[in-house]
Amino acid sequence: MSEVTVWRASAEEAAAQVPALADVLIDCVHGGASVSFMAPLPQDKALGFWRDVADGVARGERALLLAADSSGQLLGTVQLVLAQPDNQPHRADVAKMLVHRRARRQGVAAQLMAAVEDVARAEGKTVLVLDTVTGGDAERLYARAGWQRVGSVPDYALMPDGVLCATTFFFKRT
């Protein structure tokens, strides 16, 4: 694979990347990722989700990080949810870590996670939290990156095919 570039998208870039982001999301859901959507994921629903994210970026509620190859093809993304309740200004949620199946096991997710932690520090966020499917590849990725496992909740969510799955929660101090 060619060199991967990871960056924080501006509001304009977020809006412009909506179609490519929808393609990544659809690929992940159709590949079995439990990321809040059921299969088959219609393109209009994926586009609507990413339009909402782009609006959140424009309002400063979210940071959207993108990973692309040297040709500019989008490979993956992750979000940092910055908008938190008044009593949690120091915290952010890491959400929707997505890597297209064609780019998996090549370090893209690790680069995205390192970049999202950098953005969190720059935003003054000292505690990060995330959740992931128990026993999945992402759980191992987070543990390798120094995230602390808090615990698991059985039957927390559904896989895209409708099967119940457990979810593991992690936190990290930046």
Per residue in 146-164, pLDDT (tens digit) is 999 999 999 999 999 999 9
- pLDDT tens digits, 51-108: 999 999 999 999 999 999 999 999 999 999 999 999 999 999 999 999 999 999 999 9
- In order of their start, the domains of the chain are 4-173 (3.40.630.30)
Identify the burial level of 6 via C-beta atoms within 10 angstroms of its C-beta, where 0-12 means exposed, 13-18 middle and 19 or more buried: buried
Report pTM.
0.96
pLDDT tens across 108-155, in order?
999 999 999 999 999 999 999 999 999 999 999 999 999 999 999 999
